[in-house]
């Protein structure tokens, strides 16, 4: 009996063993536009973005036509202690790769000739030329984890060697690899990003010959559908494949690790639990939200890296904090250091020419991080936080009580603050109040299209239920009416019967308090502070 496939979140994905998104179009585009044109390029993408799997799939497709040298610098620190260890280490790694290629014995012997200790790079260069000249097929070099030593001068020498041979081959003066693919997180065309923030930046790299690699490697909604369709053919859950795929994409933005993680959790942990006794119950909106909760809760190396890098780069910290809490817009300009770093690590993307957090999962993690940092500094807020147990009844969140108690809480702590303070911190104050109440059981996120200085729509998820809250600065009756209508529209989108409106009002004649109103047939609980 054939072994049943699984979803995979660690290491390389194997089509025969794992449910996978079909990336054939991406692979064919890489081959046609880059490899067959003899390009040298870098696949630099964020952690756990499918780089290693992409290289393996490329290897399987290319080895029918080319000699493919697939090596990794994952555990190659000892290769970068001297030029000789670099040359000999590279020879050894390529020799291992050649065992998986049908290579003539004579060619193998040519490659294994000793490297000169006196002139190791010159010796390596001649060895590459000799091998490529006498090979019966063109040769492709693929190096994974290439940025492990990219701040090492010896690594720059290695790049310089590849660059020199590339240029000479173009002029008809040398033989070398047809195409070179280097894969890693850091863009080695711009080595300043590998340095510590307090060190002098370096902009120049011998890899300036490389073609720009701008192929989208995130999973599309259609791609996720295809993977789920293969799963459904094996398990017959009765899931609505299109809607489940759209929901997964909505939270992950197609980030490969996150997509696979959610599917894996639904398949292996959520299925068979008390709330979801079988696959039919698990592969639903509620089951996906349960998996999202586990993904947000962490911990995992993806979040560890994100928090480390956000804390490490003050410009990135400030930009993300301002986007999330103040609704500031930043033009997407890749030469800006914060934008470049955030893009490289996968935290941000370009949307309508402005910087946007890459997906809802990252956004939630960043909110948690920034709110935790703020709460450490805000003694009065931390000490006045209410007992979270009063807000949960029969496992469900009493959002009416949450909003009513926030009115009391805000009034006692912040009623004397001026308008400028609340414009900047009002949303933060509410989220700092909300976070410990739902922590561990629920999540929240802010709808991207509504996030401005003046308003935002916050969606709270708790035990499968969703609550929509519009948070805004009071700007008169007409503005308030539009806010009510916008909230009613969001309620339709989320299929909820009750919505919540939080207004920060500085009108001296305001009618502060909590009241229930009707708008377009919807029930709204309005809190004015």
423 burial type by CB count under 10 A (0-12 exposed, 13-18 middle, 19+ buried): middle
> What global pTM score does this model have?
0.86
The reported pLDDT for the residue numbered 117 is: 94
CB-CB contact of 507 with 528 (8 Å): no
Per residue, what are the HEC states of 187-226? CCCCHHHHCCCCCCCCCCCHHHHCECCCCCCCCCHHHHHH
With bands split at pLDDT 50, 70 and 90, how would you rate the model's confidence at 378?
low
CB-CB contact of 68 with 140 (8 Å): yes
User: Hey, CA dihedral for 305, 308, 312, 317, is it positive or negative?
Assistant: positive
> 40-44 and 179-184: which strand pairing?
parallel
Q: CB neighbours of 30 closer than 8 A, spacing ≥ 6?
A: 54, 58, 215
Cα–Cα distance between 211 and 39 in angstroms, integer? 6
With bands split at pLDDT 50, 70 and 90, how would you rate the model's confidence at 383?
low
With bands split at pLDDT 50, 70 and 90, how would you rate the model's confidence at 97?
very high
DSSP secondary structure letters along 437-490: HHTTTEEEEE-GGG-SSSEEEEEEEETTEEEEEEEEE---HHHHHHHHHHHHHH
With bands split at pLDDT 50, 70 and 90, how would you rate the model's confidence at 414?
confident
* pLDDT(191) > 60: no
Q: Could you give the strand order of the β-sheet that contains 522-528, starting from the edge strand earlier in sequence?
A: 442-446, 455-462, 465-473, 498-504, 522-528, 513-519
Angstrom distances, CA of residue 58 to CA of 28, 62, 192, 270, 296: 9, 6, 29, 34, 32
The reported pLDDT for the residue numbered 160 is: 93
The reported pLDDT for the residue numbered 203 is: 47
Give the angle 494-498-502 at the CA atoms, nearest 5°. 100
- Segment (H or E) for 134: helix 120-134
Where is pLDDT greater, at 381 or 221?
221
25 burial type by CB count under 10 A (0-12 exposed, 13-18 middle, 19+ buried): exposed
The reported pLDDT for the residue numbered 508 is: 63
Least reliable range by pLDDT among 23-37, 155-169, 182-196, 402-416: 182-196
> 442-446 and 455-462: which strand pairing?
antiparallel
pLDDT digits (tens, 9 = 90+) for 310-320: 988 999 999 99
What number is the average pLDDT over the span 326-353? Answer: 90
The reported pLDDT for the residue numbered 305 is: 84
Where is pLDDT greater, at 439 or 465?
465
The reported pLDDT for the residue numbered 198 is: 47
The reported pLDDT for the residue numbered 1 is: 47
What number is the average pLDDT over the span 116-124? Answer: 95
Strands annotated E in 288-374: 348-351, 354-357
The reported pLDDT for the residue numbered 519 is: 78
With bands split at pLDDT 50, 70 and 90, how would you rate the model's confidence at 2?
low
* pLDDT(112) > 50: yes
The reported pLDDT for the residue numbered 451 is: 65
* pLDDT(195) > 50: no
The reported pLDDT for the residue numbered 455 is: 66
The reported pLDDT for the residue numbered 147 is: 82
């Amino acid at each position: 009996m054939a072994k049943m496939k699984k979803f995979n979140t660690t290491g390389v994905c194997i089509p025969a063993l794992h449910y996978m998104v079909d990336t054939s179009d991406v692979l064919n585009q890489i081959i046609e536009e880059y490899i067959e044109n003899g390009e040298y390029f870098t696949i630099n993408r964020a952690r756990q973005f499918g780089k290693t799997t992409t290289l393996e799939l490329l290897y399987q497709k290319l080895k029918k036509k080319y000699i493919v040298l697939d090596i990794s610098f994952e555990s190659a620190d000892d290769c970068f202690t001297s030029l000789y260890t670099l040359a000999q280490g590279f020879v050894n790694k390529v020799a291992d790769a050649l065992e998986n290629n049908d290579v003539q014995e004579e060619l193998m012997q040519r490659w294994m000739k000793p490297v000169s200790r006196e002139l190791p790079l010159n010796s390596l260069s001649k060895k590459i030329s000799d091998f490529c000249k006498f090979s019966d097929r063109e040769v492709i070099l693929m190096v994974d984890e290439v940025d492990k030593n990219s701040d090492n001068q010896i690594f720059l020498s290695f790049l310089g060697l590849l660059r020199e041979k590339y240029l000479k081959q173009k002029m008809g003066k040398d033989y070398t690899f047809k195409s070179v693919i280097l894969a890693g997180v850091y863009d080695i065309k711009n080595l300043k990003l590998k340095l510590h923030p307090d060190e002098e930046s370096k902009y120049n790299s011998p890899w300036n010959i490389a073609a720009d690699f701008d192929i989208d490697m995130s999973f599309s909604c259609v791609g996720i559908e295809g993977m789920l369709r293969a799963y459904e053919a094996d398990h017959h859950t009765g899931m609505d494949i299109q809607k489940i795929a759209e929901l997964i994409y909505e939270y992950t933005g197609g980030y490969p690790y996150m997509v696979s993680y959610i599917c894996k959790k639904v398949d292996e942990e959520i299925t068979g639990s008390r709330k979801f006794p079988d696959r039919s119950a698990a592969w639903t909106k509620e089951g996906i939200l349960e998996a999202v909760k586990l993904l947000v809760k962490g911990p995992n190396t993806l979040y560890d890296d994100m928090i480390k890098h956000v804390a490490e780069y003050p410009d990135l910290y400030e930009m993300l904090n301002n986007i999330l809490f103040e609704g500031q817009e930043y033009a997407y300009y890749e030469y800006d250091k914060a934008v470049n770093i955030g893009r490289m690590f996968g935290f941000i993307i370009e949307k309508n020419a402005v910087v946007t957090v890459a997906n809802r999962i990252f956004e939630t993690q960043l909110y948690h991080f920034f709110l935790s940092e703020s709460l450490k500094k805000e003694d009065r807020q931390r000490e006045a936080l209410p007992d979270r147990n009063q807000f949960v009844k029969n496992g469900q969140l009493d959002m009416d009580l949450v909003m009513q108690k926030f009115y009391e809480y805000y009034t006692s702590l912040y009623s004397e603050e001026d308008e400028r303070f609340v414009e900047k911190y009002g949303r933060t104050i509410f989220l700092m109040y909300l976070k410990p109440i739902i922590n561990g059981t629920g999540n929240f996120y802010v709808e991207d299209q509504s996030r401005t200085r003046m308003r935002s729509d916050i969606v709270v998820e708790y035990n499968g239920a969703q609550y929509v809250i519009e948070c805004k600065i009071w700007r008169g009756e007409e503005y308030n009416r539009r806010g009510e209508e916008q909230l009613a529209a969001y309620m339709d989108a989320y299929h909820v019967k009750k919505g919540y409106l939080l207004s920060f009002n500085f009108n001296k004649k305001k009618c502060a308090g909590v009241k229930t109103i009707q708008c377009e047939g919807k029930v709204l609980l309005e809190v004015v502070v």
